[in-house]
Structure 1
Amino acid sequence: MATRLSIFPLPGAILFPGLHLPLHVFEPRYRAMVSDALARDRRIAMIQPHTAEPDAPLYAVGCVGKIDEVEAMDDGRFNIVLQGESRFRVMRELDVDTPFRQVEAELIEDDEFASLSSVERAGFEQEARRFADLQGYSVDWDSVSSLDDRSLIDGVSQIAPFDSAAKQALLESPTLGARCELLIQLMQFFGRSDPDEERVTLQ
């Protein structure tokens, strides 16, 4: 079913269902959006624009988040933490009078019980260890091993040091298995670069 969403088109900001995204909100139109969300259902839809221009075209898929924490400042700014609830696909942008943009969208029903095979999980963890070593990251692998498949794959998808196009591709992956496979490919691709050289990019 179609639903109406207030959108926050922020380049480079990716949110996945079940995960958290901290945001500092200072632009007047987005302060108005947060105030509106707090007065209604506390929901804001994160989506990436193709460019940083104010009315830039949007990518097709984003994620609805619910304001889990909020700090209202005296000057009107907000610090908020969104908790991802559901991916969505934009159907059309609406003609509205609000300072913030709104879309008509359909929510994407992900399989909350999806899991990886033991071979997929082992292959991912092996590639993740190699990538972390190449990049010089310190990782608590015992904690990683204790995560369920969705928390692991979506968590890495959200925080990995990939460019915006790569993270958008991860968000648009239709299944957990497809996202895992793409993550492995991205770690192999980005892991080829020398950290002291200019970063490689998919864009």
Structure 2
Amino acid sequence: MVRRFSPAELPETIPVFPLPGALLLPRGRLPLNIFEPRYLAMIEDCMKTPHRLIGMVQPFEHDREETPRLRQIGCAGRLIAFSETEDGRYLITLAGVSRFRIAEEVEGFTPYRRARAAWRDFTRDLGEEERDPGFDRPGFLDLLRRYFDIAQLSSDWGALKEADPEMLVNSLSMLCPFEVEEKQALLEAPDLGTRRETLAALMEFAIASNGDDGAVQ
């Protein structure tokens, strides 16, 4: 069982890890392979804190600066698994805790970036798993099967049929090969039902695009 945080326990400042296309959602799991020296330092510093939180944030993908602009909303994850490889890499897993809004970046002497996090808009993330009363599992799985066919993806369909709606929708949002803007839209969805509708729309668009030119867009 991953530790559950109260709003008062969330830190004011967290390290942020800009990684295009990497999406973390509350109660999700994100494995990461850490090898850059600045992020190795970030992990070492994170493990010394009581909360062990790292903010996953997507940079603007067309910003080629050394310190690219960051999108305003990210998701903080608690470091729950860690191992070191023989060549000095860290293999970690983050458990999604809560989304946050970047209030401002914090200057300092760390080689990685830090931000002051505003949590107040996302207190729902700290509670029990979300429900989706409008979820039509058979229809959703039919759409998913067609999307997986054109995207050449495979899955354990038995597990998908049994998965709770939040786990199903959030796992697919994290794992499907969508563009950065699309991943950000899934992150910013205000509730599970909206995220499921956004996910379905992205899959339908990919299916339609495949019919036009034979490729997933």
How many residues align? The count is 200
Task: Identify the residue that residue 100 of structure 2 maps to in structure 1.
Answer: 88
Higher alpha-carbon deviation: 44-53 or 160-169 = 44-53
Do the aligned partners of 1:14 and 1:46 also contact (CA within 8 Å) in 2? Answer: yes
Give 1:182 shift: 0.4
Higher alpha-carbon deviation: 88-97 or 178-187 = 88-97
> Quick one: which amino acid aligns to residue 77 of structure 1?
R
Give 1:129 shift: 2.3
Task: Identify the residue that residue 69 of structure 1 maps to in structure 2.
Answer: 81
**2:153 aligned residue (123, 137, 147):** 137
> Quick one: which amino acid aligns to residue 44 of structure 2?
S
Judged with a 3 Å threshold, the aligned counterparts in structure 2 of structure 1 residues 180 and 95 are, in CA distance, closer, same or farther, namely same
1:50 and 2:60 are equivalent in the alignment: yes
Do the aligned partners of 2:150 and 2:216 also contact (CA within 8 Å) in 1? Answer: no
CA distance in 2, matches of 1:145, 1:156: 13
Give 1:118 shift: 5.2
> Which runs of 4 or more aligned residues in structure 1 lie more than 6 Å from their structure 2 counterparts after TM superposition?
none
Query: If the length of structure 2 is used for normalisation, what is the TM-score?
Result: 0.83
**2:194 aligned residue (178, 181, 184):** 178
Task: Identify the residue that residue 157 of structure 1 maps to in structure 2.
Answer: 173
Judged with a 3 Å threshold, the aligned counterparts in structure 2 of structure 1 residues 38 and 133 are, in CA distance, closer, same or farther, namely same
Deviation track 1:134-158 (CA, whole Å, cap 9, x = no partner) reads: 3343333221111111101100100
The answer for unaligned runs of 5 or more in structure 1 is none
Judged with a 3 Å threshold, the aligned counterparts in structure 2 of structure 1 residues 166 and 78 are, in CA distance, closer, same or farther, namely same
Superposed CA RMSD in Å reads 2.2
Q: SS state of the match for residue 15, structure 2?
A: strand
CA distance in 2, matches of 1:154, 1:7: 21
Q: SS state of the match for residue 172, structure 2?
A: helix
CA distance in 1, matches of 2:201, 2:98: 25
1:103 and 2:112 are equivalent in the alignment: no
The answer for unaligned runs of 5 or more in structure 2 is 1-6
> Quick one: which amino acid aligns to residue 6 of structure 1?
P
CA distance in 2, matches of 1:142, 1:118: 21
Do the aligned partners of 2:26 and 2:99 also contact (CA within 8 Å) in 1? Answer: yes
Higher alpha-carbon deviation: 125-134 or 23-32 = 125-134
Do the aligned partners of 1:49 and 1:58 also contact (CA within 8 Å) in 2? Answer: yes
1:26 and 2:57 are equivalent in the alignment: no
> Quick one: which amino acid aligns to residue 54 of structure 1?
E
> Quick one: which amino acid aligns to residue 80 of structure 1?
I
> Quick one: which amino acid aligns to residue 58 of structure 2?
Q
